[in-house]
Structure 1
């Protein structure tokens, strides 16, 4: 996870934000890698060299707020390269081999996404050509890293599901045909299943897609003149896609629903923002899909994280916080964590059954009945109120 995060952070910092700042101006536009940077810093703090690694990362990320011309300086990217090497050298034992796997997996996935679905070109760019060359460079490197990992004892300590998906990806790399559309499509799907096996949400887009969309809204694409047509309603499209995926989940197609929701969450983080209420609600639905797949520890951990995020950013009694917290309580209860469920309900949700029903917003009207009594209704699920809220 650390290797994936730091490589994606490098990509966003070097290629993505550089172009974004050139388009929208210094100090403007979204800080789309904020949560990723927090995760990377937290891991760095656990390493012996934290006294130098974290300040170096902070100095590099600070460059994104400088003048666009300064942000183009390739020396900043070389400095990030050196930081990544030093981070690897600070990792103990087999962690360095997993770190390499994450770094090359993230780079490979980003290249496949861009080649398979190139973002609209900006003036003076050839995204597909550039990243097809990069893909040709990365494929043998990732294959070599995976072959090295398979020969180590650490490989046997990985989950069977992760080993299965990595071997499937390794076979795909062995069938490299220069990057045909069919090859990229299959590789993209297999890489996505590796991310799912790790337990990470991952995007079906890239920072370059976000940058190109920003340029299009400003009328700066190479092929399209600016028009008076309104920009697509990203929130409406997000809701539509989430409803489709929940129907897929209810139809018993849990694997397809999990993969789609995982992609939707990460895409939403890039396009809407990591703290957007729709993203948190979709993340709670992702927990339900993970539970349907039998991935209990992961679904519970993600449910706790989602509830904590909502409470931090929206407050204890916001409708979004109440909805995702109810999902967390429900998952704790049905996975046999009765004591945890009772403690969570008392700490986070006791106010809800005690509230005057006439004072509750419509989207919360069904939650008190779910929480009524010591365990709640036996057959209740939190999907209905969440769908209304979203």
Structure 2
């Protein structure tokens, strides 16, 4: 066997794991914290997600001999970060996470639901996601205004790396953030000797609530399907792989539901890291690229062992800095969502209504703005375009 036949997929897989974790774990922690999770529960959720996407991705790739990359739902975490803490706190959010996972299972088993999700106009789905992401994408610039000496180097490092190597822009910005926190001394109390750094899972008994189902679970399901599962499937297909989508959705939905009591909000098909594992960079022979996805999965499991430390550093940092890193990680996703929202001129009014209602943060009947944005934009779209 040629040395490159195994070195190339191993390198690509390790890069996918490191970039996938470092570029968006701040978004995940911010989303869990917004749902009322304690630092311990947030660390548990991060570990549970790493184990879930690592073991599921490695297992599916090995069994199917396809580069099936699994990731946490970054847009879903951004949605949580933009949503108010539900009445009843984190246990209610955990119940909503479970329901969202089960809805993905139903979409995989029952084709009419999958078709219904696919029937949502891309302009409306993109506008809802853009509205969700707007608040976090403004955070880097608010951080510069609030803490210029700490935040400005983070933004500059991100911008420089965007010019040199875009893939590493957010990880480098995260590294600068850690250095800034260490210099500032804010981490001293959290990282003191005796702090519990060992990885651990915390079980949270889920509480099911109708308002949380409508305001959290349903938007989380829609965002995960439209922004992660469908693009992830498209990445595989564009590289010549044709897996049956139903079993993949069922697998990710079940694992999401099982992970929820430990704080995990959702796992799904990856898009960006999927391109790293399924493309030519992973191996010259398409039949060997599944090795990269297996290595990436195992890499996530190993990286999960530092989830508690990552959560402690994030908890020690000024919240505005963590929000800044999360916002930098989401600027590309925001641009893509906004482009999709405005791509059809004759649907622009409905998309803008969706975007504005979602971005407003309005809450009615205890249900957050993402749901109402989808309802308002969908109603305008139907009124203007259905005969």
TM-score range, shorter chain: under 0.3
Q: Which has the larger radius of gyration?
A: 1
Q: Report the TM-score when normalising by structure 2.
A: 0.26
TM-score when scaled to structure 1?
Answer: 0.26
Query: Which of structures 1 and 2 has the larger relative contact order (alpha carbons within 8 angstroms, sep 6+)?
Result: 2
